[in-house]
Structure 1
Amino acid sequence: MSEPNSYDVALIGAGIVGLATAYQLSRISPKLKIAILEKEEGPARHQTGHNSGVIHSGIYYKPGGSKALNCAKGYRYLLGFARQHDIPHDICGKVIVATRAEEQPRLRGILERGRANGMQGVKIISAGECREIEPHVNALEAIWVPQAGIIDYKAVAERYLHLVLEKGGKAYFSEPVLKIGRQPNGKMLVQTEKQALQARLVISCAGLYADKMAKQTTPGLGLQILPFRGEYYELKPERQHLVNNLVYPVPNPNFPFLGVHYTRMIHGGIEAGPNAVLAFAREGYSRWDVNYKELLETLSFPGFQQIARKYWRDGLGELYRSYSKAAFVRALQHLIPEVGEADLQRGGAGVRAMACAPDGTLIDDFRILEQKGAIHVCNAPSPAATASLAIGETVAQKALKQL
Structure 2
Amino acid sequence: MTDRIGIVGGGIVGIALARALSARGDAVTVLEKEQRLAGHQTGHNSGVVHAGLYYKPGSLKATLCAKGRASIREFCQEKALPYREVGKLVVAVDESELGALAEIERRSIANGVPDLARIDDVAALRDVEPHVAGIAAVHSPHTAAVDYATITEAMAQDVRRAGGEIRLGHEVTGIHREGDSVRVTTPVSEDVFDRLVVCAGLQSDVVARLVGADPSPKILPFRGEYWELAPERTDLVKGMIYPVPDPRFPFLGVHFTRGVYDNVHVGPNAVPALAREGYRWLSVSPKDTWESLRWPGAWPLAKQHWLMGVDEISGSLIKPLYFKKAQRFVPELRMSDLAHKTGAGVRAQAWGRGGELLDDFAVDRLGPVTLLRNAPSPAATSSIAIAEHVIEHYLDVAA
Matches within 5 A, 1:180-219: 180-183=175-178, 186-219=180-213
Matches within 5 A, 1:331-350: 331-344=325-338, 345-350=340-345
> For the residues of structure 2 that align with 1:301 and 1:371, how far apart are their CA atoms?
23
Asked if 1:121 is matched to 2:115, the reply is: yes
Shift of 1:186: 3.4
Identity %: 39
1:262-304 per-position Cα deviation (integer Å, ceiling 9, x unaligned): 0011112100000000000000000111000001001111212
Shift of 1:402: 4.2
Q: TM-score, normalised by structure 2?
A: 0.96
Shift of 1:332: 0.2
Asked if 1:246 is matched to 2:240, the reply is: yes
Matches within 5 A, 1:124-135: 124-125=118-119, 126-135=121-130
* Corresponding position of 2:138: 143
Asked if 1:89 is matched to 2:83, the reply is: yes
* Corresponding position of 1:25: 21
> For the residues of structure 1 that align with 2:217 and 2:113, how far apart are their CA atoms?
33
Shift of 1:121: 2.0
The secondary structure found in structure 2 opposite 1:393 is: helix
Report the AA paired with residue 211 of structure 1: D
Shift of 1:253: 2.6
The structure-2 alpha-carbon separation of the partners of 1:87 and 1:390, relative to structure 1 and needing over 3 Å to count, comes to same
* Corresponding position of 1:176: 171
Which region of structure 1 is more displaced relative to structure 2, 168-177 or 274-283? Answer: 168-177
* Structure 2: tracts of 5 or more residues without a match: none
The secondary structure found in structure 2 opposite 1:108 is: helix
* Corresponding position of 2:382: 387
Shift of 1:170: 0.8
* Corresponding position of 1:311: 305
> For the residues of structure 1 that align with 2:215 and 2:321, how far apart are their CA atoms?
39
> For the residues of structure 1 that align with 2:114 and 2:163, how far apart are their CA atoms?
41
Shift of 1:149: 0.8
> For the residues of structure 2 that align with 1:277 and 1:338, how far apart are their CA atoms?
27
Q: TM-score, normalised by structure 1?
A: 0.96
Report the AA paired with residue 233 of structure 2: R
Shift of 1:137: 0.6
> For the residues of structure 2 that align with 1:127 and 1:237, how far apart are their CA atoms?
27
Asked if the contact 1:7/1:198 (under 8 Å) is kept, the reply is no
Asked if the contact 1:279/1:285 (under 8 Å) is kept, the reply is yes
Number of paired residues?
Answer: 395
Asked if the contact 2:205/2:217 (under 8 Å) is kept, the reply is yes
> For the residues of structure 1 that align with 2:214 and 2:40, how far apart are their CA atoms?
26
Asked if 1:366 is matched to 2:399, the reply is: no
User: Which residue among 364, 377, 401 is the counterpart of 2:397?
Assistant: 401
Report the AA paired with residue 90 of structure 2: I
* Corresponding position of 1:268: 262
> For the residues of structure 2 that align with 1:195 and 1:255, how far apart are their CA atoms?
41
Asked if the contact 1:255/1:314 (under 8 Å) is kept, the reply is no
* Corresponding position of 1:161: 156
* Corresponding position of 2:62: 68
> For the residues of structure 1 that align with 2:122 and 2:365, how far apart are their CA atoms?
48
The secondary structure found in structure 1 opposite 2:55 is: coil
Shift of 1:150: 0.5
* Structure 1: tracts of 5 or more residues without a match: 1-5
> For the residues of structure 1 that align with 2:287 and 2:3, how far apart are their CA atoms?
34
Report the AA paired with residue 390 of structure 1: A
